[in-house]
Copies of this chain bind each other. A is one copy, B any other.
């Protein structure tokens, strides 16, 4: 009975945290993880070898290219992308398990990937993370110093393009410099509000 206020089910959410590179998706996820929230954080599968400090199942699921190809063939990936000749993707099975246990599921996906998730799962909750302005974004990309000037220019141009896709998302959250807590508070408010909606999202995968 959806219209009985005393017996409302609580459907778990599938939350996609996205936005151009440099907006701080990883920092926000890390901060949320550190708070022990009742959320399931999706672990991405990758075909690249683990780095020294990385732990299987915590940082990534490290799988072979053969295994990855099989998952693509069988439609077992919610979304995947090629990153420098290696593959990264989100196994549906993991998301299904987490949802079945009743937990909200959150994952970090790039802007193109978010559109793919929306197509496969229209009831997913899409959050677009952004900086306050373009200067802040450029400064953050600059601060990484892990890229050549050409790569940096490419990242900035890509980010500018991706900012135009805001209309495909449900919510926009600003992640201002040095105020990570504000972004996290906004995301948590969005989750609480979504669970209070009379017309709740019901995710099917």
Contacts and interface: CB of A to CB of B under 8 A. Distances in A.
Q: Is the interface of A mostly helix, strand, loop or mixed?
A: mixed
Contacts of A186: 192-193, 196
Interface string A24-64: 00000000000000000000000000000000000000000
A4 interface: yes
B163 A4 contact: yes
List the number of copies, as a whole number: 2
Contacts of A171: 193, 196-198
A74 B150 CA distance: 66
A79 to B, nearest CB: 20
B198 A167 contact: yes
B128 A164 contact: no
A5 B6 CA distance: 39
- Chain A interface size, as a band, is 20 to 34
A128 B6 contact: no
A194 interface: yes
Interface stretch (A82-90, A92-100, A129-137, A140-148): A129-137
A5 B163 contact: yes
A66 interface: no
B196 A5 contact: no
Question: Most chain-B CB neighbours within 10 Å: which of A2, A185, A197?
Answer: A197
Interface of A: 2-6, 8, 128, 130, 132-134, 163-167, 169-174, 185-186, 188-190, 192-194, 196-199
- Sorted nearest first, the 7 A-B pairs with minimum C-beta distance are A193-B193, A189-B192, A189-B189, A5-B130, A190-B193, A171-B196, A3-B167
11 contacts: A4-B163, A5-B130, A5-B172, A5-B174, A6-B130, A8-B172, A169-B198, A171-B198, A172-B196, A172-B198, A190-B192
